């Protein structure tokens, strides 16, 4: 399990807890038992703008822990999500210990390949070693 270090400022997001490490890498861990909200297009755009403000309107390296309970995005949302992620992501390491969550993430990235590097890991240390090359 990925846990935040003691010395970081935690960012409370509706479905996850996030923090930046000393190198500026954004970590995100889903909150347990919190269902993914069904946003309207306008609400999703507002959430994305809040996220852009959070990362400083620049591309950011991210390490994310996958959530095996999160459903894959709807087809009509996939292109928009992929475009938005392309605009803010420099590189993404995905930590997955569940074959189901890895399958869902692979499905998303397989249907809409990202413009940034993505790699799957089983632990945060390996993800951090890999992502350092993009800092």
Task: Please report, for the domain that includes residue 91, its CATH number.
Answer: 3.30.750
**Total count of domains within the chain:** 1
pLDDT at position 13 is 92
**Containing structural domain, residue 80:** 17-32+41-134
**Upper half-sphere CA count for residue 114 (Cβ side, 13 Å):** 21
Q: From start to end of the chain, where are the E strands?
A: 11-12, 16-20, 26-30, 60-65, 89-95, 118-121
Flag whether 58 is in a domain.
Answer: yes
Whole-number pLDDT of residue 62: 97
In a domain, 114, yes or no: yes
Q: Quote the pTM value.
A: 0.87
What helix, strand, coil percent values describe the chain, rounded to 5?
A: 40, 20, 40
Divide the 135 residues of the chain into consecutive groups of 10 and give the mean pLDDT of each group: 89 93 95 76 89 95 83 73 91 87 74 87 95 97
What does the pLDDT read at residue 21? 96
**Two tokens at 115?**
């413009």
| pLDDT of 32 | 83
Residue 43 tokens read as 């609400």
Q: Phi, psi (5° rounding) for residue 5? A: -65, 160
Q: Is residue 7 in a domain?
A: no
DSSP bridge partners of 26: 20, 62
């Amino acid at each position: 399990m990925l846990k935040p270090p003691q010395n970081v400022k935690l960012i409370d997001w509706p479905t996850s807890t996030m923090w930046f490490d000393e190198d500026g890498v954004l970590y995100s861990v889903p909150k347990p038992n919190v269902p993914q909200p069904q946003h309207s297009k306008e609400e999703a755009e507002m959430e994305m703008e809040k996220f852009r403000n959070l990362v400083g309107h620049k591309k950011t390296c991210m390490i994310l822990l996958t959530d095996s309970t999160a459903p894959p995005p709807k087809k009509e949302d996939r292109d928009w999500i992929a475009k938005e992620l392309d605009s803010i992501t420099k590189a993404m390491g995905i930590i997955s210990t569940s074959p189901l969550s890895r399958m869902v993430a692979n499905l998303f990235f397989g249907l809409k390949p990202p413009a940034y590097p993505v790699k799957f890991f089983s632990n945060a240390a390996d993800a951090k070693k890999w992502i350092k090359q993009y800092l």
